[in-house]
Structure 1
Amino acid sequence: MIVPDGLIDAILTTASDAVIATDHAGIIDFWNPGAVRIFGFAADEAIGRSLDLIIPENLRARHWSGYNRVMQTGESRYGHGDLLSVPALTKSGQRVSVEFTIAMLKDKQGRPTGTVAILRDVTKRFEEVRALKRQLSEVSRGK
């Protein structure tokens, strides 16, 4: 495959979507400008820290159970291109809604070495949909 000059840098340095890579233990080793914009942590604040930085406390056990299983087995229940939706935390402690795709990073022998995820903040859309559902429910009940 031929990659046009500048394509990789353009993708990785975009400020619209977050690109976050982790190692086998879930330690952040890449954090692009989009991640800074969405989550509020500068790259030097995030790199070298656990993904717990952005995972709400009530979701951590479930996250790490799945993450560790995938790192041990190399198998994920999410297919290529699956769009996942989860709440996440910002530096200020605010919850945001993010949608993301994730890919496993592997060594030359095909063993998992970490992950890379591309995340988008969809908080505004999520809140709009929730408000519309609430309005629809009220109309359906005759209010």
Structure 2
Amino acid sequence: MNMPGGLGEALLRSASDAIVATDRDGRITFWNPGAERIFGFTANEAAGQPLDIIIPENLRARHWEGFRHTMATGTSRYGHGDLLSVPALTKDRQRISVEFTIVLLRNDRQEVAGTVAVMRDVTKRFEEVRDLKRRLAAAGGKA
């Protein structure tokens, strides 16, 4: 299905969610206004940077292992509408919680050429659930 002229571009540029595309090496090739709002980096600051700018240091090795596997095999556990919840970093190094799903980008030969991730900041919800679990555990401990 083809979208009417400019609709795809309008959606990418106006989405409240972060939409981030990378090349095969994990360097950022697209960074929409939603990504600017959530992470604090402008599109110019993010362009060409590795995804490390938003990945907490303690998670980078695991991320890159999975990323390289996805680039090599053309498959991802998270590419079929499944949401992954992970910590992320903002420009000011604040840790937030995001949910995301990815789509693999392919070239004319159907080889994986990169990724597009759609991310949503779920920090507030994550903190509310964590607080509720703490309160329930404390109440259960008093019974």
1:61 offset after TM fit, Å? Answer: 0.3
Q: Structure 1 residue 10: deviation in Å?
A: 2.5
Assess if the C-alpha contact under 8 Å between 2:79 and 2:101 holds in 1: no
User: After TM superposition, what 4+ stretches of structure 1 lie above 3 angstroms from structure 2?
Assistant: none
What residue is the counterpart of 1:28 in the other structure? 28
Q: Distance in 1 between matches of 2:135 and 2:5?
A: 49
- Distance across 1 between alignment mates of 2:89 and 2:60: 12
| Alignment partner, residue 62 of structure 1 | 62
Aligned to 1:13: 13
* Runs of 5+ unmatched residues, structure 2: none
Counterpart amino acid of 1:60? Answer: R
1:97–1:123 contact (8 Å) kept in structure 2: yes
User: How large is the RMSD of aligned CA atoms in angstroms?
Assistant: 1.2
Q: Which residue of 2 aligns with 1:134?
A: 134
Structure 1 Cα separation of the partners of residues 91 and 84 of structure 2: 22
TM-score (norm 2): 0.95
Kindly indicate whether residue 54 of structure 2 is the aligned counterpart of residue 51 of structure 1.
Answer: no
TM-score for both structures, normalised by structure 1: 0.95
Which residue matches 2:107? 107
**Amino-acid identity (%):** 64
Residues 23 and 29, structure 1, Cα contact 8 Å, conserved in 2:
yes
